[in-house]
Structure 1
Amino acid sequence: MVTKALGINFLWIDALCIIQDSIVDWQHEATLMSHVYSNSMCNISALDAHDSIGGLFFDRETSNIPSCTVKICRKFQRKRLYKFAYADLWSDSVQHAPLTRRAWVVQERLLAPRVLHFGKRQLLWECNELRACEVHPRGMPPTGRLQIFHSTSDKFLKESFRPLLQGGLDNPLTSSQMHRAWNDLVQHYTRCNLTMSKDKLVAISGIVKRLQPLFKTDYLAGLWRDDLLEQLLWHVEPSDRFLAGEKRPQYRAPSWSWASVDAPIVPRPELNPVIDHMATVIEAHVNPVADDITGQIVNGYIRLQAPLFPVKVDTSRYTRFPNLAWDWGRLKSINETIPDVWPQSVVEGLKFVPLLMTSFPPHLRSSVLDIFGLIVQPVEGKQGVYQRWGSAELNWREGRDLVNFGVRPINGKWTFEYNPSEKYPEQIITLI
């Protein structure tokens, strides 16, 4: 009905246009998703349908749609008209709708040049230039609380995509802006639900295909090669709900990829300034199931040159700040250690792998030196091979006991340099 009303002769629906019981056809069509949605005239969105039979149309009270206009007259002042509208209208109507909580919808919504949302209460419009609805047909108000939504991930990505969608690759965004946009996407995407968990990487492969010409670097199971050390520092958002598992789900990505866990992910924010890298990426590689490097993964690895520090983690308390026990005793630091999945038993042989460190003058922050790294556990029967166990951040207010990490202050000031210590030399390790 909608397609005919718009005067369009063709309608594409994945459930009808992809042979549902054919793995070969599904794999072929999945690689074309970026072309299907980005070259569409308009994406029709059934916002409040809980499944494929929910439909677009709802009975509604149309008299409640218009906003309320109030005339206020104060003494010795001219009469003024004030327009009152629901401040969270867009957020509640679109962001919290059943449809937008589905992971596959993320790329369908971002790649389409236009989206016509059918909600319970009103129609909403979204394109590269405008967000509007029946209450605000000329665009959502840019002021007040609505401004919060306008700065979130999908709008930033829309702006990132615009030069590409309009046919040009001369994107004005810097590399750091592109990585920030990607981090926003990962944070948003990992909060959405997947019916088939094996689709974790496939469901955003269309977005990756459009981003690759802009990033101009290799894509590695949810991470980008040119920013690999910082992107390895993602962590699970701590909560009782998601840190209840004892092990990762069935394999679909290497342990160093956020796609290997079923939980909301918090990418490490942009670290500035990074004063030194404490690890070096020697090699990184993934093997896809088919020829599509953005889709399903058979396996993958990262080879690092980095020091390894034996560590024990106290997981007896359900907290994001477990105690770390080091060979040389307790550190005078604050640590934030977050497991990827909550261990229900003691794990032996854990190591801390520092990746990079940042430093700030004391008057700017509560800590003056931060070391970011991973907690890894050995793979049984494979020398030098480890799996990721979690992430860790160490914060120092004072620069003592850093010598064990090979970190020392320069000229007695709050600037530091890193040189591997003799007791804990750098090694070649493989993360799988």
Structure 2
Amino acid sequence: MMETKAALEGVKVIDMSRVFAGPVSAQILGDLGADVIKVERPKVGDDGRGYGLAWVPGKDGLETHQSSFFTASNRNKRSITVNHAKPEGQDIIRELVRTADVLIENYKVGDLKRYGLDYESLRAINPRLIYCSVTGFGQTGPMAARAGYDGLFQATGGMMAVTGIPDGQPGAGPLKAGPSLVDFVTGHNAALAILGALMYRSRTGEGQFIDIALLDSSVAMVSHIMQDYLIGGVAPPRFGNGGNGGGPADIIHCTDGIMYLSAGGDEHWRRLTVLMEQPELYEDPRFNSNMKRAKLHRVELMDIINEWSRRFTTAELQAMFDGVGIPAARYNDLDEVWDEPQVKHRNLRAATPHPWAESGSVDLIASPLAHMSRTPATIRTAPPLIGEHTDEILKTIGYDDARIADLRALNVI
């Protein structure tokens, strides 16, 4: 068998980011094999350690400071605590940067320049450095100095404008998506930009600065719906659970639950009318075009489909849809997701050894990049405790035990 290596084996990443978008980008690089050193504040750590609704219980009553928020975005990292506001802490960062390939940070614009840790200062130490700054609004412009969080950009960038219950119905209005989607996508965009910069450096030897903004990602995420507006000049309405492409595409009700039906193409619609034993609907002037089914007469059509679907269980309907090739899926609550046969087959629940957890392991969400044939993403280590690897990392850059003890006494680490 040919030996395979991780795609980013040998790449060293300094992760000075906090909360979610930046940590997600660094985690992706770690999943692909990079050595990610997470720099945190002494004693306090990443702000994200306190976010979320659940925490990993520690062994023997140990407080792990690992919230669900932190746990979802910080595996495959080593943690060092450094107070970069102190000169000795700045020296540590500079020493780490000398042999680093990538640095990721998400401080306010200009914040790290005060400490000589901005791109221009660190490039003088390491010209090959790829320096990625993740901010809310970007490095320049009238709003660059503002802090920004996910929900703000779901509101500002247009996502909430096209998400929510349609006007005229009870509860109508814009709605924020549940997960921190702008943060998550921004983290992926940052990782993509870094990978592109690594490729460029492999050809030229040159590092570069990367300016990633949550605002940019939030606008781009509206995607084809925003493109509808740019082409047509009219803002598409909110469709609730309705699809944004073809129709019928919406929630349907069964005797024991609900499903999502996506029969937007003409052929899928024809098959559905046959399955419903109402083939005359295919030629019905109310429904004989995608525009009519998806928009003009969507509510009327969904009422007809729901009258039919309520006669069956979700399992019966799934079998019927699968039998004729109509895309549909059962709605799952979060606990039901993990019972899905295909979720189990894809090993999406990744039980990971955790030396400090009460149970000895923690369940993580597998990387979507885990099925690359030669260099799959892997989960090698659970998220670290605050400063778990401080001594180990400092010793690799020349600090001895006595100096480490001095730095700890001075609250530098």
TM-score (norm 1): 0.20
Question: Counting strand residues as a fraction of each chain, which structure ranks higher?
Answer: 1
Question: Counting helix residues as a fraction of each chain, which structure ranks higher?
Answer: 2
